[in-house]
Amino acid sequence: MSHNIKTLKQEFLEYIEIEKGRAVKTVENYDHYLNRFIDFAKVKDAGDITENAVRTYRLWLNRQSGGNNRATGETLKKKTQNYHLIALRAFLKYLAKRGVKTLSPEYIELAKVGERHLDLISADELKRLMEAPKGNDAKSLRDKAIMELLFSTGLRVSELCSLSRDLDLRQDEFSVRGKGEKIRVVFLSDGAKSALKKYLDKRTDVDDALFVKADGKERAEKEELRLTRRSVERIIKEYAIKAGISKKVTPHVIRHCFATDLLSNGADLRSVQMLLGHANIGTTQIYTHVTDNQLKKIHQQFHNKRK
């Protein structure tokens, strides 16, 4: 029985978008990764996906240069290679569920990658960053509210940009829809609530978005008022420079600070996982290095006390 690969791929993409609730961007990425394999291996039918085809493809991927690596001659990062393999494995699992005869998804093993490196800033640098927006104009109040909210909640920048202004600031919490359409509760500090109230009181527009472009310069392109992910990234970068921070600072760095602050003050890993909206606790474990300072103090306090 023939199983046309393009038809199956399209059905798979529709399945992960509708049944699995994957974001449109995720579906687009899966489409890109699968097309790359199909074109390389010249796959026409599901039966053409063989161990040899995958092995040859992995070897080819491992020798590719990618993005900014071309100038240095570096090959595609293992993490990026794994994105390709994850998409292929998910596709094979879908085919197996459909009863389509093809390669078993268990054959796909991900490449080993080094321990993830976290971009962090010190407590003093974070303090300087949070205090960098000054003034009572709409832009300064907005930017202060953005940073206070990011650090209070650990929101992803995409989650922050999607918020509406109908937040009930009398409450200390609100629900947010994160990755995979999963809903979680995040919590507002007094500082975040105060900054948001000052910003919203200053607003004169009626736009539904919580954070909008503040002045004529930002609105020059006649786009919608809602701030984009890129806009928020530029805002954080601007204040990091003003605060004299030489490291690269992004909204995700503030999310890292949120997680490490909780753990260093005694929060358990499972709770931090839920607050961050991580599907797998293994993702949250990258933050456990923050306990190193506490361990160092314990070592100094209790080790080798022989007199």
Domain boundaries, the chain: 5-107, 123-296
5-107: CATH superfamily? Tyrosine recombinase, N-terminal domain (1.10.150.130)
179 is catalytic: yes
User: What share of the chain in percent tops pLDDT 90?
Assistant: 58
217 phi and psi angles, rounded to 5 deg? -65, -45
Q: What pLDDT sits at residue 298?
A: 65
Q: What pLDDT sits at residue 117?
A: 61
278 is catalytic: yes
For Cα atoms 200, 183, 250, give the angle at the middle one, nearest 5 degrees: 60
| pLDDT (tens digit per residue) in 81-131 | 999 999 999 999 999 999 999 999 999 988 877 656 666 788 899 999 999
Q: How far apart (Å, rounded) are the C-alpha atoms in residues 64 and 36? A: 12
Q: 209 by DSSP, 3-state: which?
A: strand
CATH class (in words) of the domain with range 123-296: mainly alpha
Compute the average pLDDT of residues 123-140: 93
- How many residues are there in the chain? 307
Q: How confident is the model at residue 303 (pLDDT cuts 50, 70, 90)?
A: low
Q: Does the structure show a pLDDT above 80 at 69?
A: no
Q: What pLDDT sits at residue 116?
A: 60
252 is catalytic: yes
Q: Which residue among 144, 156, 193, 256 is the active-site one?
A: 156
Q: Which residue among 9, 22, 213, 255 is the active-site one?
A: 255
Q: Which neighbouring-strand residues pair with 161?
A: none
Q: What pLDDT sits at residue 48?
A: 92
Does the predicted TM-score (pTM) go above 0.75? no
Q: Which residue among 128, 179, 226, 242 is the active-site one?
A: 179
Which of 136, 166, 131, 177 minimizes the C-alpha distance to 151?
Answer: 131
Q: Does the structure show a pLDDT above 70 at 289?
A: no
Q: What pLDDT sits at residue 115?
A: 59
Q: Which residue among 139, 184, 252, 289 is the active-site one?
A: 252
User: Any idea what DSSP says for residue 26?
Assistant: H
For Cα atoms 73, 78, 82, give the angle at the middle one, nearest 5 degrees: 135
